[in-house]
């Protein structure tokens, strides 16, 4: 009973915060509503008995990533919105497609049946502890995806630096100061 | 620490599971070496394109030489299918690296980052080509996409590149979200992320009539169609292709698309073969739409770059025909076509780079005027590429289209093939208009044409040779694709 109530509470708050995040005009307010969203997402992890993931969710996403977003917002100090041409002519078409997708999911999802279970039962996880179980799986079975994710993060870092560096490098000029600075940061990463 | 579980598991961990990832690891190492070179030996930046070509060639050979039996639990397969698509993508990287220096000279933007971002994107593509697990498919896709977003926006003197990068990023992320939604449904339904295991589970547990599975299929199709720019999921393509630096547009219209088709084929044929009745007609419809919009809108373009962008959309439609057929023959036709498309499209973009000289105003089709008088050799190359893109024998484009139409006919899609042939005839208007401008119009006063750099000449020679050779002996390529598809 309580878990059902708790699930619906979290789900509705997540939905509401998600809508607020994209509809609020002030970017700081948007980030704050995403913060609330992340806390309730952590609540969902708790419901699934994944305490470690819930803690990681709060520490990494709510604690680190959102603070980074806020820093970025304060640093670039956007006074007015940037506007791009819409891809789809008219907002109504986009909304129509979104509603259509929603109805489609409502129609299809009741027939969802859960598939086979893996080797880890919740009792076994309880016995071993979440961290150890997660570590075992990530560093054996899922080592390759884990490493690819690492490379993706490295790419994000290099990409961010390339986009943030102000100048296009001329042919045989001495290296400009900005790429030098980016180089030092890059070494710190791994 | 509880070692009861740890010990048997760590003993069971088998490093040989990492061996199929060897070519990817080698390429990754080369990428990291280039990062270091660019940082610490900035004076030798001129070496970067050649080192890139060398490194990618080594990886290509290594990739062709390696073949391992597939383990049931592995996430990357080193089969012929992966080797075929990796060769295609790496070939595209080589041609791009060869053409880039000339373009960089024109726009005076010599960032060494270009080369290693390209290599990291290539690693992502190789992972996509080899992936047999939903997880590696998705991660490979992201690893490919992320460097390309950056590459599109890298050249910052032009405002349109930043806009293109923003658009590409937003649509790319949206497509990823759709794909992930489909994948998560699929994982929930079957409890495994391995493609073969998912296929077996669906067949064994009678999930075929489950509407959640259909929605998963639809969402994944939508996500993949975004990635390979199939109408109606194409609206980002013209703007992004036009806004991106030309050399990158050439790359984007071939390699990421080929990698997208690699996972497209892998997903459809190993998870959803029994649902062919559902996805076959849908894809046939989308293929018709794609060919129609791509070819008809290309008619109205006055910018050569934008025309090639729409032609890239149309060619995605042709390539889709092989998937529509739903047979091994069809997949072989798609694979061969993508390979031929690599040569003819990279070549056409190479000539565009030479003509445009890095200026937006020269990207118009009028810059082709009188090319035959100014530089007969270049005009002849362009003639070959335009004939091949139209599908006129004896070029590769004809052979590729022939196999595609044949396989779709064999699968019973007669109407689709008739429309495809008609639309190919429409495409002759705008491709051959270029030929007419080159050979039958006098030059517009400007006669000077930059001397192509050595690397550019090499790239053009490879493209022409590939286009013509595959036109004369397409059987070789088709047979290779057939061998690649064998389990």
Residue in A139, A143, A169 closest to B110 by CB: A169
Return the pLDDT at B265. Answer: 92
Q: At what angle do helices A177-188 and A143-164 cross, to 10 degrees?
A: 160
pLDDT-based confidence at A189, cuts 50/70/90?
Answer: very low
* Range in A6-10, B160-164, B299-303 with the lowest mean pLDDT: B160-164
C-alpha to C-alpha distances, B23 to B67, B124, B272, nearest whole angstrom = 11, 12, 29
Nearest-CA distance B234 → chain A (Å)? 10
**8 Å CB contact of A88 and B235:** yes
Mean pLDDT along residues B470-477: 89
Task: Please tell me what DSSP assigns to residue B229.
Answer: T
- CATH numbers and ranges of domains, chain A: 1-79 (1.20.120.1200), 129-190 (no CATH)
Task: Specify which residues B133 forms β-bridges with.
Answer: B194
| Residues B236/B156, Cβ–Cβ less than 8 Å | no
Confidence of residue B420 (pLDDT cuts 50, 70, 90): very high
Compute the average pLDDT of residues A160-186: 53
Q: Is residue B112 part of a domain?
A: no
Lowest mean pLDDT among A31-35, B13-17, B228-232: B13-17
pLDDT, residue B402, reads 93
CA distance A66 to chain B (A): 19
Question: Does residue B393 lie within any of the structural domains?
Answer: yes
The one-character DSSP state at A88 is S
Percent of chain B that is helix, strand, coil (3-state, to 5): 80, 0, 20
Give residue B333's pLDDT. 93
Whether pLDDT at B260 is above 80? yes
Q: How confident is the model at residue B287 (pLDDT cuts 50, 70, 90)?
A: very high
Contact A159 B9 (CB under 8 A): no
The mean pLDDT of B354-365, rounded to a whole number, is 79
- Contact (CB, 8 A) for B140 and A147: no
The answer to whether the CB atoms of B201 and A105 lie below 8 A apart is no
**How confident is the model at residue B243, as a pLDDT?**
87
Q: What is the ipTM of this complex?
A: 0.87
Of A60-74, B300-314, B322-336, B382-396, the range with the lowest mean pLDDT is: A60-74
| Nearest residue on chain A to B41, alpha-carbon basis | A175
Q: What is the CA radius of gyration of chain B?
A: 22
Residue B217 has pLDDT above 80, yes or no: yes
Instruction: Assess if residue B399 is contained within a domain.
Output: yes
Is it the case that residue A33 has pLDDT exceeding 80? yes
Residue B311 domain-assigned (yes or no): yes
- A145 and B143 in contact (C-beta within 8 Å)? no
Name the residue facing B111 among A109, A152, A168 (closest C-beta): A168
Residues from chain A that touch B73, judged by Cβ atoms under 8 A, are 141
Span B300-325, mean pLDDT? 91
Cβ contact, residue pair B210, A169, below 8 Å: no
In chain A, the residue whose alpha carbon lies closest to the alpha carbon of B128 is: A148
pLDDT, tens only, A81-110:
666 666 666 778 888 888 999 999 898 888
Q: For residue A130, give how far its alpha carbon lies from the nearest alpha carbon of chain B (Å).
A: 12
Q: What is the pLDDT of residue B14?
A: 64
**What is the DSSP secondary structure assignment for residue B131, as one 8-state letter?**
B
Over 50: is that where the pLDDT of B2 sits?
Answer: no
The pLDDT of residue B394: 86
In chain B, the number of structural domains is 1
Contact A163 B35 (CB under 8 A): no
Per-residue model confidence (pLDDT) at position B460? 93
- CB distance B189–A113 less than 8 Å? yes
Considering only the beta carbons, identify the residue of A115, A136, A155 that sits closest to B120.
A155
| B374: pLDDT strictly greater than 80 | yes
Give the minimum alpha-carbon distance from B134 to chain A in angstroms, rounded to a whole number: 10
Nearest CB to B211 within list A111, A145, A183 = A111
- Which has the closest alpha carbon to B449: B341, B377, B343? B377
Q: Which chain A residues are Cβ-neighbours of B76 within 8 angstroms? A: 144
pLDDT tens profile B129-182: 999 999 999 999 999 999 999 999 887 777 778 888 888 998 899 999 999 999
Question: Tokens in use for B75?
Answer: 């996430």
> Does residue B252 form part of some domain?
no
Q: Is the pLDDT of residue B223 over 90?
A: yes
Q: Which tokens sit at A92?
A: 């109504």
Residue B385 lies in a domain: yes
pLDDT score of A54? 92
- Chain B positions touching A140 (Cβ under 8 A) are 9-10, 12-13
B327 domain-assigned: yes
User: Which residue would you say has higher pLDDT here, A86 or B294?
Assistant: B294
A144–B112: do the CB atoms touch at under 8 Å?
A: no
Nearest CB to B2; choose among A111, A128, A186: A128
Residue among B40, B136, B211 minimizing CB distance to A145: B136
Averaged pLDDT of chain B:
87
Residue A167: pLDDT band with limits 50, 70, 90: low
Residue with more model confidence, B418 or B155: B418
Of chain B, the percentage scoring pLDDT greater than 70 comes to: 94
Instruction: Work out the mean pLDDT of chain A and round it to a whole number.
Output: 81
Residue B305 has pLDDT above 50, yes or no: yes
Check CB contact under 8 Å for B139 and A148: yes
Res. B319 pLDDT band, cuts 50 70 90: very high
Q: Residue A179: closest CA among chain B residues belongs to which residue?
A: B39
In this structure, of A42-56, A165-179, B18-32, B420-434, the range with the lowest mean pLDDT score is A165-179
Share of chain A above pLDDT 90, in %: 28
CB A96 within 8 A of CB B172: no
Q: Is residue B33 part of a domain?
A: no
Distance in Å, alpha carbon of B4 to nearest chain A alpha carbon: 9
As a whole number, mean pLDDT of residues A152-174 equals 74
Chain-chain contact of A159 with B146 (C-beta, under 8 angstroms): yes
| Interchain CB contacts (distance < 8 Å): A and B | 144
Residue A169 pLDDT exceeds 70: no
B13 pLDDT tier (thresholds 50, 70, 90): low
The pTM for the full model equals 0.89
Pairwise CA distance, residues B407 & B414, whole Å: 10
Residue from B191, B201, B423 nearest B291 by CA: B423
CA distance A95 to chain B (A): 15
Say if residue B421's pLDDT is above 90.
yes
More confident residue, A105 or B450: A105
Mean pLDDT score, B355-377: 81
pLDDT at A180 over 50: no
The predicted structure's pLDDT at residue B447: 58
Q: What average pLDDT does range A129-147 have in this prediction?
A: 87
Please report the pLDDT score of residue A125 as a whole number: 84
For residue B350, give its domain range: 277-487
Q: Which residues of A touch B123 (CB under 8 A)?
A: 151
Distance from CA of B279 to the nearest CA of A (A): 17
How far apart are alpha carbons A2 and B261 in whole angstroms?
A: 47
Residues of B in contact with A112 (CB under 8 A): 185, 188-189, 210, 212
* Average pLDDT rounded to a whole number, residues A18-22: 92
The answer on pLDDT for B4 being more than 60 is: no
Distance CA B329, CA B322 (A): 8
Inter-chain contact B189–A170, Cβ cutoff 8 Å?
no
Cα(A123)–Cα(B466) distance, integer angstroms: 60
Task: Find the closest chain A residue to B162 by CA distance.
Answer: A163
State the best of B76, B142, B278 to mutate against chain A, taking most chain A CBs within 10 Å: B142
The stretch B191-196 carries a mean pLDDT of: 89
Residue A187 is predicted with a pLDDT of: 39
Q: Which of B127, B193, B200, B215 to mutate to test the interface with A (most CBs of A within 10 A)?
A: B215
For residue B221, what are the contacts with CB-CB under 8 A and spacing of at least 6?
B182, B279, B282, B283
Please tell me which residue of chain B has the smallest CA distance to A164. Answer: B154
A160 to chain B, minimum CA–CA distance in Å? 8
Q: Give the integer Cα–Cα distance in Å for B46 and B233.
A: 39
So what's the pLDDT on residue B111?
80
- Band of pLDDT at residue A184, cut at 50, 70 and 90: very low
């Amino acid at each position: 009973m309580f878990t059902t109530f708790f699930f619906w509470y979290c789900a509705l708050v997540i939905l509401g915060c998600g809508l607020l995040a994209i509809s609020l005009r002030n970017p700081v307010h948007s980030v704050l509503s995403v913060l609330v969203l992340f806390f309730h997402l952590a609540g969902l992890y708790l419901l699934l008995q994944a305490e470690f993931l819930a803690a990681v969710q709060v520490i990494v996403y709510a604690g680190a990533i959102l603070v980074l977003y806020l820093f970025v917002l304060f640093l670039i100090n956007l006074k007015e919105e940037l506007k791009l041409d819409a891809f789809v002519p008219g907002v109504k078409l986009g909304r129509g497609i979104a509603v259509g997708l929603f109805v489609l999911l409502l129609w299809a999802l009741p027939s969802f049946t859960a598939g086979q279970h893996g080797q880890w039962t919740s009792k076994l996880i309880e016995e071993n502890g979440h961290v150890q179980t997660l570590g075992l799986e990530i560093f054996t079975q899922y080592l390759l995806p884990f490493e690819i994710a690492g490379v993706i993060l490295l790419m994000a870092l290099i990409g961010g630096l390339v986009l943030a560096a102000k100048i296009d490098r001329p042919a045989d000029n001495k290296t400009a100061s900005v790429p030098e600075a980016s180089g030092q940061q890059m070494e710190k990463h791994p | 620490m509880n070692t009861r579980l740890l010990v048997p598991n760590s003993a069971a961990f088998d490093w040989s599971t990492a061996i199929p990832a060897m070519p990817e690891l080698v390429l990754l190492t080369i990428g990291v070496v280039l990062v270091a070179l660019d940082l610490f030996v900035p004076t030798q930046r001129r070496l970067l394109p050649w080192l890139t070509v060398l490194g990618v060639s080594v990886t290509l050979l290594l990739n062709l030489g390696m073949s391992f039996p597939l383990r049931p639990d592995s996430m990357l397969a080193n089969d012929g299918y992966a080797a075929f698509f990796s060769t295609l993508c790496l070939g595209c990287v080589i041609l791009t690296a060869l053409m880039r220096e000339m373009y960089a000279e024109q726009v005076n933007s010599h960032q060494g980052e270009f080369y290693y971002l390209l290599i990291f994107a290539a690693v992502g593509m190789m992972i996509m080509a080899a992936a047999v697990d939903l997880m590696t498919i998705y991660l490979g896709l992201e690893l490919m996409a992320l460097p390309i977003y950056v590459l599109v926006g890298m050249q910052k003197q032009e405002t349109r590149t930043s806009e293109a990068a923003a658009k590409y990023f937003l649509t790319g992320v949206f497509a990823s979200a759709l794909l992930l939604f489909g994948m998560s449904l699929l994982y929930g339904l079957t409890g495994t992320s391995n493609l073969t295991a998912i296929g077996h589970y669906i067949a064994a547990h009678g999930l075929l009539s489950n509407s959640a599975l259909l929605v998963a299929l639809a969402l994944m199709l939508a996500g993949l169609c975004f990635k390979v720019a199939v109408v109606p999921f194409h609206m980002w393509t013209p703007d992004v292709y036009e806004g991106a630096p030309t050399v990158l547009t050439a790359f984007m219209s071939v390699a990421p698309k080929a990698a997208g088709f690699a996972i497209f084929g892998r997903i459809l044929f190993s998870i959803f073969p029994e649902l062919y009745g559902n996805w076959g007609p849908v894809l046939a419809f989308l293929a018709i739409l794609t060919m129609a919009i791509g070819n008809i809108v290309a008619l109205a373009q006055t910018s050569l770059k934008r025309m090639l962008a729409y032609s890239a959309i149309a060619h995605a439609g042709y390539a889709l025909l092989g998937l529509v057929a739903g047979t091994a023959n069809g997949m072989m036709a798609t694979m061969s076509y993508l390979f031929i498309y690599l040569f003819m499209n990279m070549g056409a973009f190479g000539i565009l780079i030479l003509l445009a000289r890095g200026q937006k105003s020269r990207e118009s089709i009028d810059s082709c005027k009188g090319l035959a008088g100014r530089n007969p050799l270049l005009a002849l190359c362009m003639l070959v590429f335009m004939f091949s893109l139209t599908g006129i024998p004896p070029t590769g484009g004809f052979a590729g289209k022939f196999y595609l139409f044949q396989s779709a006919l064999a699968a019973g899609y007669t109407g689709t093939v008739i429309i495809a042939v008609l639309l190919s005839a429409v495409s002759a208007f705008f491709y051959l208009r270029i030929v007419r401008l080159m050979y039958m119009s006098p030059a517009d006063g400007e006669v000077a044409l930059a001397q192509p750099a050595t690397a550019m000449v090499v790239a053009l020679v490879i493209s022409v040779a590939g286009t013509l050779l595959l036109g004369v002996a397409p059987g070789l390529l088709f047979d290779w694709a057939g061998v690649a598809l064998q389990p």
